[in-house]
Structure 1
Amino acid sequence: MNAFAWLKSNRRPLTVLLAAAGIAIMLLYTYCDTACSYLKGDILGIDLKVVGIVYMLLIIGLTVGGEMGGTRMLLASGLGVEAHLVYFQHKEDVYCPFCLAFAATLITSFLLNHEKPATADRSLKDRLIGIFGEAEVPFYRKARVPLLLMAVLGYIFITLTFSGSVTPAYGADKSPVPSFGKGPCQVIVFTDYFCPPCQGLEPNLEPVLEQIHARGRAQIVFVDMPIYKETPLYARYYLYAANAGGGFKDVMDARRALFAIARGKTAKDEESLAKALKEKGIAFKPYDPKPVFNAWNDLIRQHRVQGTPSCVINDCRAGISRHTGGDDILQALSRFMMRPKSS
């Protein structure tokens, strides 16, 4: 038995495995196991990740139930959907590895289940329409549907119902972002207090940033990316703490406290957050943060930051470099510290 014959005879279990892999990819994206991304989308108000999981569950149900015509129809419509979603990422120049991996499982499943269409005694028009093949309608096998039609319908559906965003929603007039240190270079740290990888990185990042500040190697800038819905409130209180007039140590204490509160999920509104910070001895002075939020937006766009934790190092000698993930960030900052100091 050659490879093609083996694949054909094992289509159903392989289709189920690929659908399960698609579900795993969406779950991994949901729980943000590597880096949190602010590339978001929904269909009719339902998070795209949830839609993806339900879609793959339907694929599994139809396949296990022996309704392979329905499986092929769903896979074909999924091709149309993915064509639009990949185009959206290309247009915005923001690529989500989880989304692309999900698309790869879908395309592989479609190819695995593709049936070569019969072309004998058919017109050119019918051949073109049937280029993707045909499928029996589930539970009514007398009717057959061209899969190209399903792909087109999928594309039309997603263009009418999809809403996506790649930029967090901060806003208002421009204003200088708080920065710390007087070095000739710049280190910009992009984090979210609720992002698990950021929470894991922070204890190791703190001493490195303190060394950079103490040695006058670079100006340090913190950008709070609002990936989680609670983050804008915490970001506001970070700015309030920075506005209280303390030094770099006070700002680091405030960040440490905000990460701890976020990790414990003990403050979900402004009153409880302010109380928790006071209990930790963090001073803060309220003011209008909207101009800084807008400046943060500009930095996110300028450096094309797509997830957290991220770090941009503007090295006077080596130029600008962008790093994502805890290990990459710490290694890059370590190399930066080892370079001769720029004048």
Structure 2
Amino acid sequence: MHTQLTSTSNSFSQRNFWIVSLSLISGLILSILSWLELCVEHCSANQEYRLFGMPFALAGMAFFPAMLTIHFFSKQFPSLSKLTSWSLAAAFGAEIMFILIQKYEIGHWCPVCLGIALTVTIACIARALPYFKTFYSAIQQGEFMTKIKQGLLSLSFIILGFLMAFVGISKVDAAEDAIADMKNRLMFGSKTSPVEVYFVTDWFCPSCKKIETQIEKILPDIQNQAALFFVDYPIHNKSMNYTPYNLAFLVNAKSNYLKAREVLSQLTEKTETPHDNDVVKAVKAYHIPFKELSFLDVKAGMEFFDKVVKKYDLSATPTIIVTNTKTNQVIKFEGTDEISDQNVLNAIQTLSQSHEETSK
């Protein structure tokens, strides 16, 4: 009789082991599908959320292989069995938080995400069954408090997982990320200096064209000391027709940008609505390649320009902004009367020294 009970117990334990294994493998597969975004239309909203800065799918792709490794080694090292149970309990708590996010914040269910939650739940149930199966016999043997302590410990890990998910979940702003990425792509000069210089112009502004050559002379000095940005501020609406081309050269033809900028400026005297062929023909003589940007890149670039205009409360062109991003000091030069090569260089020097003094 004892042999029969032992055999049944071993069979039950083996079955549970493989249920947990298959659940973890299923969770890994679903995490990969989520990473590949092979999901229904409402899943896209979940892609905007992060767990401690990591996409949910990537977190799953890290968690499930780690759990599988620990789980399989637990057959050889029984002490790892507790770690498997505690980790699954924490994951179950985190999944409760993820489901609440879908229900009350996103407002749509993601089948793949729910599938991952189901795999974790099944694995947890499989790990918990032996506990409940032996609960009654433990009471009869006077081990009631031991079982209660084990249950409370597992519950504490569920709560811990829930709290970690609550603290770690954040929603990324895709638009802001795109603007930040575009800012880096548009940058000239020093990537380490806290000083930034914004040269803000309009393509049909006569005063802007007058100071172009003046500013070009000191560009090497500016780039050695600060980050430099060329910003379009379309005072004249027709200037917006040139912004996509300007962005394309800023991103894809940095080494030839000044010449490309000059060519675009000359083109404004011929047409207010340039076409790709006009631009290609104009820069071809200078062997400058033209590669247009995607709509999303153009949108991000224009939003970056607009953000600069709003942040520094600009209302006219030409304007040069010199700012220290560490101290938030700003020096603004507006119009041909204020803008001069010496004023700009002095402002950069002043704000650079201000940062050095603050750092001491």
Question: Greater CA radius of gyration, 1 or 2?
Answer: 2
Higher share of residues assigned helix: 2
Report the TM-score, using the length of structure 1 for normalisation: 0.44
TM-score, length-normalised on structure 2?
Answer: 0.42
